[in-house]
Structure 1
Amino acid sequence: MIFSFGVLAFGARAETFTGALARAYQNNPSLNQQRANLRAHDEDVPKAAAGMRPVLGAAANAGVQYSHFRQPLGTNSFGNTAFTTGEFLGSPKGGNFSASQTLFDGWRTANSTRQAEASVMAGREALRRVEQSTLLDAVKAYMLVLRDTAIVRLRNSNVQVLAEQLNQTRIRAELREISVTDVAQAEAALALARSDAAEAQATLKESAATYRQVIGVEPSRLEAAPNIDAALPRSAAAAMRIALLEHPDVLASTHQIAGAELSVKIAEGALAPTVSAGVQVYQQYDSFFGVTGSRQFAAQGGVTLNVPLYQGGAEYASIRKAKEQLGEARLAADDQRNVVRTAVMSSLARLDSAKTSIASSAAAVRSAEIALGGVRQEAAVGQRTTFDILNAQQSLLNARLRLVASQYTKVVASYSVLAAIGRLSPGMLKLGVDIYSPERHFNQVRDKWFGLTPPT
């Protein structure tokens, strides 16, 4: 590959292709953000499961109470009503404990838990999609630096060749073998070459900045990317079959359908009866008119059956809405499959085009090198002009630039095919890093009843 001579050293340490991708996989902020988002979604499962867990509560009270009463006692000897009065100032206090347990809720808690799990599964596929996007961005960033480094080398080499050509042209002009027009043509070609070289250098700096953003470090002596043709599907039909079975967007849409189906069942559960049991215990001191020494105790328990008959029709509207959303999820899944099919065919087409372009560009480079050598020999005996030499040199440069661009496109297209079928992963690329496991955090919190600190 022409990239082999076009690696610009930004530092003393060499960087391998797999090493750069491993850095992106471990340290990319967008990817780490998505992982944190998935961990947050894991907590929806124990939240949903809480509907069938007991609810315990306790309360205590204390205060000051003033009481004044006047109570009839009958009639006195004069036939008038007699009263007794009293005043009390006390400090009543007490407490209570309650416990309740849902025994049946129309399977809403069970379905809500399953729906949360389906959402988590869809979230894992979303994480896979971000992983693929991050790795593909890393591939592009890496190859951009290689491509633009090669272009800078080609442009600088072209400047040197044209500078030498200008010197030779001036010598021949002094000997009156050629005219000043030839000198002017050589000077113009050199000026344009220097401008192109400066622009190529600026483009390389932009690519290096992108590399720093995606990979996390400055590029330094990048090595050539490995060939992954052996990992690619053998045919378009095989690629399509794999994509429809393994692409994260297709799998995520499947989990979203499952979640929508459970939403219908949850909505229908609102029409089912509910059964719950509860226990309450009360203990009060000095609460009877604030009289010191008085005491009250009460305990009660029971089972409650609640049967919804009609509650305004909101439940029926929720059921109809959930069913429409289920239909929407199924249509979205069909649309996502079409998107994946298009991505697969597009990436395969770019790969095939790049392979053809590499072959034709390599042939063009060989022919242009031969043509340039012939033109120079003919110019030495006066059969060609300086303009002919400059044209031949430019044709060779253009052919080499097209070859570099085609090689870049071929590598990126190869990894794009892997992303399109859902197989661009650290395991497949053998990055040699600890692969992030979303199941680990999920298993830690799924059945968790207590705790304030997220697991590590």
Structure 2
Amino acid sequence: MAETLNEALVQAYLSNPTLNAQRASTRATDELVPQALSGYRPQIGASADGGVEGTRVRRPSQGFSTKTETLTASAGLTVEQPLFDGFRTKNSVRQAESSVLASRETLLNTEQNVLFDGAEAYMNVLRDFAIFDLRRNNVDLLDEELRATNERFEVGEVTRTDTALAQSRLSGARSEFSVAEANLKASRAIYRQVIGSDPTKLHPGQPIDKLLPPSEKAALEIGYVEHPASRAALHAVDAAEMQVRVIQGELAPSLSLQGNAGHQWDNSNSSPDGGVTDLERHTSSASVLGVLRVPIYQGGQEYSRVRESKEILGQRRLEADSVRDQVRAAVVSAWGALEGAKAQIIAAQAQVEASTIALSGVREEARVGQRTTLDVLNFQQEQLDARVALITAQRDRVVASYALLQAIGRLNVATLALNVPAYDARIHYDQVRDKWFGLRTPDGR
């Protein structure tokens, strides 16, 4: 069971289904490279056939007929080694490698999102539990206030209006308590969804200011270079550019070396009138050929696909610019939210201190008849609102620090120094890159 924020993030990093699904997607993308490398390797095929054929020839004018049965079987082996394919294989390998790099950056971005969701879910539970506790205490306080007001009404110190006001505030407090309880249940449900277990005994979360850049300008510079979404977009541009070259290679001639070997067996049984004749024949053949294929015109499909891939390349470049703008907007927004949360905490703390002093004074004044029940209830509500605002600001302060670290692309296991081994996507890639055959995945499936 997670008790600290870092422990909760470790659990999310290990068990979050969204993150594990993206890791599986990255492993699937790794297979694009051996698929592309297969273009360098020979293709081997075998074939075999067999059967029987029967014929019967009647010659009435000559007074006899002939029946022939032929058993035939053959087997062959073909080996073709590509020598030149218009650099399609070379560019396909480069395209696959760019796709792998883009997939890794997408995985890092997903890790960031999951870790941020974990931090936000953790702080939401803390916030909602604290507000739930305040609302519950407020109900108890107002219930006691109503009891005291009723006693004072019975001795004639207050009017029916005062008891009605106390009853009204108590009913409103119970309604707010119900809302706080519902919010807490929702936060706990989201916590379980993201972290993987129910929250228990959560310790207060702390902002991570020491991991943040000193200025907004520095944050923008880091985000432009290091944010995984931005780097994934650039790798997507590289992959699209290689796709253009792959399709252009279909218009170039190709050269391959082809070897064939075969054996055929025939056994004929002829039975004309007056005798039987058997004939058995074995035929072996082998050849080595150089095959040159020159495309001249195939209906214009390749030309259309080249134009299409060029448009997709332009689209990927525009998307990379868009992602860069999104990173900038996220950094500026997160920086402003962090600065705003800091100011809100200072203001909320001052408000809590002032409202506490004011409430104490109003209660003393009410005891000597200088303040009404309404005054006491109003100041109690003001103090409660101030405490809720402080709790919310403290939560926002922590979440904003994680949001800024996410916006610059550094919300990861290494930066947070989480006690868990970082997932290394290169291990699976190295395991499958040069596999020539095999149906099992590296984990044995």
Q: When the two structures are superposed, what TM-score results if normalisation uses the length of structure 2? A: 0.94
What is the CA–CA distance in structure 1 between the aligned matches of 2:324 and 2:312, rounded to whole Å?
18
Letter in 2 for 1:185: L
Say if 1:113 and 1:14 are closer, same or farther in 2 by CA, change over 3 A: closer
Partner of 2:393: 406
- In the alignment, does 2:351 pair up with 1:364? yes
Q: Does the 8 A contact of 2:81 with 2:258 survive in 1?
A: yes
Offset from partner CA, 1:234-274 (integer Å, 9 cap, x none): 11111101111011110011101111111121122122111
Mapped partners of 1:82, 1:306: distance in 2 = 55
Give 3-state SS (helix, strand or coil) of 2:280's partner: coil
Please name the residue that 1:76 is paired with: none
Aligned to 2:275: none
Q: CA deviation at 1:309?
A: 2.8
The question of whether the paired residues in 2 share the 8 Å contact of 1:62 and 1:92 is answered with yes
Matched, 1:37 2:17: no
Amino acid in structure 2 at the alignment position of 1:25:
Y
2:207–2:399 CA contact under 8 A, matched in 1: no
Q: Which residue of 1 aligns with 2:147?
A: 167
* Cα distance, 1:84 vs structure 2: 11
CA contact (8 A) 1:115 1:263 kept: yes
Q: 1:64 maps to what in 2?
A: 52
Q: Is the 8 A contact 2:26 2:104 kept in 1?
A: yes
Over 3 Å counting, the alpha-carbon distance change for 1:257 and 1:287 in structure 2 is farther
Amino acid at match of 1:455: P
Pair 262,378 (structure 1): closer, same or farther in 2 beyond 3 Å: same
Matched residues, number: 435
Match of 2:99 in 1: 119
Aligned partner (choices 95, 100, 110) of residue 80 of structure 2: 100
Q: 1:288 to 1:331 in 2, by over 3 A?
A: farther
What's 2:124 paired with? 144
C-alpha distance in 2, partners of 1:423/1:289?
A: 82
SS at match of 1:271: coil
Counterpart among 416, 421, 425 of residue 429 in structure 1: 416
Q: Is the 8 A contact 2:2 2:11 kept in 1?
A: no
Q: Which moved more, 1:13-22 or 1:383-392?
A: 13-22
Q: Which residue of 1 aligns with 2:183?
A: 203
Q: Which piece of structure 1 moves more, 413-422 or 157-166?
A: 157-166
Residue 273 of structure 2 corresponds to: none
Q: Name the residue aligned to 1:186.
A: 166
Letter in 2 for 1:316: Y
1:231 is aligned, of 169, 193, 211, to 211
User: Please, which of 371, 375, 392 is the counterpart of residue 379 of structure 2?
Assistant: 392
Is 1:341–2:300 an aligned residue pair?
no
In structure 1, what is the equivalent of residue 39 of structure 2? 51
Matching residue of 1:244: 224
Which AA in structure 2 matches 1:283? H
User: Counterpart of 1:352?
Assistant: 339
Q: Distance in 2 between matches of 1:297 and 1:68?
A: 29
- Native 8 Å contact 2:34 2:432 kept in 1: yes
Percent of matched pairs sharing the same residue: 46
Q: 1:255-302 CA distances to partner (integer Å, 9 max, x unpaired)?
A: 011111111211221221110110111101125689552111111111
Give the superposition deviation at 1:170.
2.1
Higher mean C-alpha displacement, 83-92 vs 255-264: 83-92
Deviation string, structure 1 residues 370-390 (Cα, Å, up to 9, x no partner): 000010111111110110000
Task: Kindly provide the CA deviation profile for residues 352-411 of structure 1, in whole angstroms up to 9, marking residues without a partner as x.
Answer: 111111110010000000000010111111110110000000000000000111111111
| Structure 2 residue runs without a partner (length 5+) | 271-277
Moved more, 289-298 or 34-43: 289-298
Q: Secondary structure at the match of 1:91?
A: strand
Mapped partners of 1:310, 1:96: distance in 2: 32
Q: Distance in 1 between matches of 2:179 and 2:66?
A: 102
CA distance, structure 2, for counterparts of residue 83 and residue 339 of structure 1: 96
- The question of whether the paired residues in 1 share the 8 Å contact of 2:69 and 2:268 is answered with no
Q: Is the 8 A contact 1:100 1:279 kept in 2?
A: yes
Residue by residue over 1:157-212, the C-alpha shift from the partner in whole angstroms, topping out at 9 and shown as x without a partner, is: 11122122222222222222222211111111112112211221121111111111
Q: Select which of 233, 247, 250 maps to 1:270.
A: 250
- Is the contact made by 2:70 and 2:268 (CA closer than 8 Å) also made in structure 1? no
8 Å CA contact 2:105, 2:229 repeated in 1: yes
Change (3 A) 1:84 1:109: farther
Give the Cα–Cα distance (whole angstroms) in 2 for the partners of residues 309 and 84 of structure 1. 58
User: Is 1:276–1:305's contact at 8 Å kept on the other side of the alignment?
Assistant: yes
8 Å CA contact 1:67–1:289 kept in 2: the answer is no
Question: RMSD over aligned Cα, in angstroms?
Answer: 2.0
Asked if 1 retains the 8 angstrom alpha-carbon contact of 2:237 and 2:317, the reply is yes
Q: Which residue of 1 aligns with 2:430?
A: 443
Of the structure 1 ranges 175-184 and 206-215, higher mean CA displacement relative to structure 2 is found in 175-184
Deviations 1:220-243 (A, max 9, x none): 011111331100111111110111
In 1, the alpha carbon distance for the partners of 2:245 and 2:181 equals 62
Distance 1:154 1:397 in 2: 7
Q: In the TM superposition, what is the alpha-carbon distance from 1:312 to its structure 2 partner?
A: 2.9
Provide the residue aligned with 1:4 in structure 2: none
Structure 1 stretch displaced more, 247-256 or 83-92? 83-92
Please say if residues 61 and 94 of structure 1, whose CA atoms lie closer than 8 Å, have aligned partners that are also in contact. Answer: yes
Matched, 1:18 2:3: no
Read off the aligned partner of 1:16 and give its amino acid letter.
T
Aligned letter for 1:388? D
Distance across 2 between alignment mates of 1:333 and 1:364: 46
Say which is worse superposed, 192-201 or 61-70, in terms of deviation. 61-70
Distance 1:287 1:29, change over 3 A: farther
Further displaced range: 319-328 or 364-373: 319-328
Task: State whether structure 2 residue 206 is matched by structure 1 residue 214.
Answer: no
